[in-house]
Amino acid sequence: MKQLILDYTPYCTRAALVEDGEMIDFSIEQANVGGIVGNIYKGKVENVLDGMKAAFVNIGLERNGFLYVGESRVDRSRLQSVMPKKSVSVSPGDIIMCQVIKDQFGQKGARLSTDITLAGYYLVLLPNSDFIGVSRRIENDKRREYLEQFVKSICPPNTGFIIRSAADKASDNDIITDADQLLGIWAKVQSDYIRAPEKSVIFEEASLFERALRDTFCEDVDKVIVNDDMVAERLRGRIGKAKIEKYCGERNIMSHYGLSTQINHLCEHKVTMPGGAYIVIDKTEALTVIDVNTGKFVGTNDLEDTVLRTNLAAAECIARQLRIRNISGIVIIDFIDMQLEEHRELVLETLKNALKNDRLKTSTVGMTSLGLVELTRKKTRLPVDDFMLQPSKDCPGGFVLSDAQLVFMLRDELIDYMLSHRCDRAYVGVTQSVFDMVFESNIMERNIRNSWHDKQIFIYVDEFVRRDKFLMSDKIPEPFPTVMRCLTAQNDE
């Protein structure tokens, strides 16, 4: 069974796609710094680079966006037929409609395209195009041909659609409804573009929980479980057959479904596989390097067989880690050296097959004699560790758990403490930075309103506690803290 678990707080939303208890995809989006991929802007061309067929466009953000001719949000390699590339000619001072296809990273501005696309549940609208494409994942030839002809019959002039893999199991009415909604959105975008000032946003992509539902339709999700009434209400009645269920338990929704530990492990650069073998993930500014090790896995008496089994397990594990951590760009994998060519080919084929489940485009280069594999994964949104980690103050170039991630961990531990001790009052010692984040983020707001509404929980600063450790007691700490606030009453003590 596949489930989509949504953990909503005023600070951020976390979405986990789970299959038989194992997390196979994960996303985080902060409420005040959500990604801009998919947003449509009324931009002003500032500079044109003729030699690169590119331009810098001011869309009202801190850095100008980069427009490269021919780029689009559509992954053309996953379409059954060839989608033509559009040419565009711009000059400095031109006002253009453009869409973000890649988030801002580091010192680089957003990547832009004038090929506008609007994604629905079963279709992707291609305004000002007559192209009809079908996802390669729809394998039945008769179904694919029927869908193509049916969508052509409902398609207005000068409009194109891409038929998503989720349409394979959709009814004709579902597809018509999806098309009508997308055409309505596009009509509003055109109207807003005319009235909007230059260098402003005219369309914002859906929030994480809506995108998560939309983008997992092709995953045959059986149930969507949310912890918030507002989110549940917004998702109910959406196109599709997935059941929407509201979680009302006392524990955090991620902990209840056994996901908190899996999420916390995403911060670690060492990933241990069943049997004792492990991989090590190290990120640099230019690329990500993954090293495979046998560790405690001793296998059989045959060394070559042990190496092969370790590398095969690592290939599956690496594909999963790339997806749930959203690692993108250039990735170098150092598999354990194998003597036989057939073993190297088997490991490479296993990796490629595992990567087919990834919604983002990946390209894999062959394996060298040293066991090195190079692959690229399309970069769109920020990786998970941008939220879960922050630069270390004590070790230049190093990273530590972010204050926000520590507050999520504190929330889970505090919930368990209150449930196990059945106490009405608790004192929690944390570092100053975690203390500040607790009261700034509202991550625990739902607990305060519900299960803790009649409790007294005091958060105080302990200068001797480690950042990733929390002191919990039902007794007043000694000596009495100089900085302490009542979490549940939200007033100074």
Reported as a single tens digit per residue, the pLDDT across 72-95 is 555 555 555 555 566 667 889 999
Give the DSSP letter string of 225-240. EES-HHHHHHHTT-SS
pTM: 0.79
Confidence check: pLDDT of 493 > 50: no
* Buried b or exposed e, range 155-181, using 16+ CB within 10 angstroms: beeebbbbbbbbbbebeeebbbbbbeb
Residue 416: CA count within 13 A, CB half-sphere: 12
Q: Is the dihedral of CA 126, 130, 135, 138 positive or negative?
A: positive
Confidence check: pLDDT of 279 > 60: yes
- 109 contacts 54 by C-beta, under 8 angstroms: no
Q: Is 275 helix (H, G, I), strand (E, B) or coil?
A: coil
Identify the band that residue 129 occupies on the pLDDT scale cut at 50, 70 and 90.
confident
d(C-alpha 447, C-alpha 459), whole Å: 15
pLDDT at 53: 76
pLDDT at 439: 93
Identify the band that residue 42 occupies on the pLDDT scale cut at 50, 70 and 90.
very high
Reported as a single tens digit per residue, the pLDDT across 160-218 is 999 998 888 889 999 999 999 999 999 999 999 999 999 999 999 888 777 877 776 55
Phi, psi at residue 490, to the nearest 5°?
Answer: 55, 40
Lowest average pLDDT, out of 12-16, 48-52, 293-297, 479-483, goes to 48-52
Return mean pLDDT, the chain: 87
Length of the chain: 493
- Mean pLDDT in residue range 237-241: 58
Reported as a single tens digit per residue, the pLDDT across 200-214 is 999 998 887 778 777
Instruction: Using a pLDDT cut of 90, give the percent of the chain over it.
Output: 52
User: Which two tokens mark 298?
Assistant: 């001793």
Identify the band that residue 359 occupies on the pLDDT scale cut at 50, 70 and 90.
confident
Domain covering 2-33+209-261 assigned CATH 3.30.420.40 in the classification: yes
d(C-alpha 107, C-alpha 180), whole Å: 39
Task: Name the residue ranges covered by the structural domains of the chain.
Answer: 2-33+209-261, 40-170+189-201, 268-377, 402-492
